[in-house]
């Protein structure tokens, strides 16, 4: 099988991924073998490639928004058949026994493993995954359109829940890439007014076309106080801008695995029961809820396709802010 393999962490301008031929895979007990057709390209992949996130193993095949067809079943697998369509996302496995797993917070399991970080992911023609951590996908989405749902969509949906935004509330989105564009559609479905802050004028225009009530830059103030905000840009300064915009009692949810830093700020900005919360991973319940919503709304995804041999180019364009919507690799 062909795969884009991360051999070393380096700036994407140095092409850290190498297209290689590897032996075909076979599923182990409890696993499915997926013949991958599409895999979304996420900012987390970029941060892993460049070293902003410490590697847990090298070499590794990145990618945690994989869509494909089940080609084979390992021993003991139930609920899947060869030929089924499946999606594999960031959360690869958990222990199932710790207090976090038993308390409905498996996203915080201390021994959780993650796709494309702890184990090989979807920048390849094949991958294996635990069968109980794979998801059926809505029929209305083709493979390329479904891929962005599996990270930007699911993590964005968890961010919405963490933010505590009420139906009909005023929500701020700081940064407007693939994840934020999906969150906006869910929030509008809930009757929320959405206010978008992003650097690029073209993204401001795209937000307005998707139903945002207002769009401006990071230094612009929304016209009304916000009930909650979600930050997507990997910059701590943006978190402070969002905190300044939320009303008393409002929450800023940080949708990021890595920030450059959070600068010092006056306690007055946090006072009056405002709060800042990080968003870590997701639960399988989050994924199932979101995929159901995506089908019922229905959510629209905007995709820019790349070949598997263009994985470095996709990462470089993502780093330079040149992707409108979501970059997705054609793998099969």
Give DSSP secondary structure letters for 159-216.
Answer: HHHHHTPPTT-EEEEES-SHHHHHHHHHHHHTT-EEEEE-S-HHHHHHHHHTT-SEEE
CA atoms of 204 and 212, how far apart (whole Å) = 9
Encode pLDDT of 9-26 as tens digits: 999 999 999 999 999 999
pLDDT at 74: 98
CB neighbours of 314 closer than 8 A, spacing ≥ 6? 41, 306, 323, 327, 329
**pLDDT band for position 158 (50/70/90)?**
very high
Print the domain residue range for 133.
Answer: 2-141+301-330
What is the pairing mode between strands 91-93 and 85-88? Answer: unpaired
**pLDDT band for position 297 (50/70/90)?**
very high
What's the CATH number where 221 sits?
Answer: 3.40.50.720
Looking at the fold, whether 308 and 263 belong to one and the same domain comes out as no
Name the domain count of the chain.
2
Type and span of the H or E element at 134 = strand 134-135
Scored b (16 or more CB within 10 A) or e, 298-310 reads: ebebebbebebeb
pLDDT at 332: 86
Residue 44 confidence (pLDDT) above 90: yes
Answer yes or no: is 292 within a domain. no
Looking at the fold, whether 179 and 110 belong to one and the same domain comes out as no
Answer yes or no: is 294 within a domain. no
Average pLDDT on 142-151 reads 96
Answer yes or no: is 295 within a domain. no
Answer yes or no: is 255 within a domain. yes
Encode pLDDT of 232-244 as tens digits: 999 999 999 999 9
Encode pLDDT of 204-219 as tens digits: 999 999 999 999 999 9
Looking at the fold, whether 132 and 211 belong to one and the same domain comes out as no
Residue 85 confidence (pLDDT) above 90: yes
Answer yes or no: is 199 within a domain. yes
Looking at the fold, whether 18 and 137 belong to one and the same domain comes out as yes
Scored b (16 or more CB within 10 A) or e, 242-255 reads: bbbbbeeebbbbbb
Residue 324 confidence (pLDDT) above 90: no
Cβ count within 10 A of residue 283: 20
Percent with pLDDT over 90 in the chain: 95
CA atoms of 246 and 251, how far apart (whole Å) = 7
Looking at the fold, whether 162 and 130 belong to one and the same domain comes out as no
What is the pairing mode between strands 134-135 and 85-88? Answer: antiparallel
Looking at the fold, whether 117 and 210 belong to one and the same domain comes out as no
Looking at the fold, whether 8 and 133 belong to one and the same domain comes out as yes
Looking at the fold, whether 136 and 162 belong to one and the same domain comes out as no
Looking at the fold, whether 129 and 8 belong to one and the same domain comes out as yes
CA atoms of 152 and 147, how far apart (whole Å) = 9
Q: For all residues of the chain together, what is the average pLDDT?
A: 96
Answer yes or no: is 211 within a domain. yes
Answer yes or no: is 181 within a domain. yes
Answer yes or no: is 147 within a domain. no
Encode pLDDT of 57-72 as tens digits: 999 999 999 999 999 9
Looking at the fold, whether 82 and 170 belong to one and the same domain comes out as no
Looking at the fold, whether 85 and 9 belong to one and the same domain comes out as yes
Residue 325 confidence (pLDDT) above 90: no
Looking at the fold, whether 216 and 123 belong to one and the same domain comes out as no
Question: What residue spans of the chain are helical by DSSP H?
Answer: 43-50, 99-102, 143-146, 152-163, 178-189, 201-209, 236-245, 284-296, 311-319
Residue 102 confidence (pLDDT) above 90: yes
């Amino acid at each position: 099988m062909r795969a884009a393999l991360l051999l070393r962490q380096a700036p994407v301008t140095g092409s850290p991924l190498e297209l290689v031929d590897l032996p075909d895979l076979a599923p182990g007990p409890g696993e499915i073998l997926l013949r991958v057709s599409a895999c979304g390209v996420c900012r987390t992949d970029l941060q892993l490639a460049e070293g902003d996130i410490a590697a847990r193993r090298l070499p590794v095949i990145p990618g945690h928004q994989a869509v494909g067809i089940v080609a084979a079943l390992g021993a003991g697998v139930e609920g899947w058949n060869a030929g089924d369509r499946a999606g594999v996302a960031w959360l690869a496995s958990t222990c199932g026994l710790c207090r976090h797993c038993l308390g409905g917070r498996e996203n915080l399991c201390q021994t959780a493993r993650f796709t494309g970080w702890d184990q090989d992911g979807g920048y390849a023609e094949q991958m294996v995954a635990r069968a109980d951590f794979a998801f059926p996908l809505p029929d209305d989405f083709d493979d390329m359109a479904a891929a962005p749902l599996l990270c930007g969509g699911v993590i964005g949906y968890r961010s919405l829940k963490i933010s505590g935004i009420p139906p009909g509330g005023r929500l701020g989105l700081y940064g407007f890439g693939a994840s934020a564009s999906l969150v906006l559609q869910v929030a509008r479905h809930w009757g929320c007014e959405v206010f978008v802050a992003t650097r690029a004028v073209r993204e401001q225009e795209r937000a307005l076309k998707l139903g945002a009530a207002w769009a401006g830059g990071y230094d612009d103030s929304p016209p009304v106080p916000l009930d909650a905000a979600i930050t997507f840009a990997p910059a701590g300064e943006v978190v402070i801008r969002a905190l300044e915009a939320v009303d008393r009692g409002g929450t800023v949810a940080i949708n990021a695995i890595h920030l450059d830093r959070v600068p010092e700020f006056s306690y007055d900005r946090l006072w009056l029961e405002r709060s800042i919360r990080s968003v870590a991973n997701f639960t399988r319940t989050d994924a199932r809820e979101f995929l159901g919503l995506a089908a019922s709304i229905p959510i629209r995804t905007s995709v820019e396709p790349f070949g598997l041999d263009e994985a470095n180019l996709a990462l470089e364009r993502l780093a330079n802010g040149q992707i409108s919507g979501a970059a997705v690799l054609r793998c099969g």
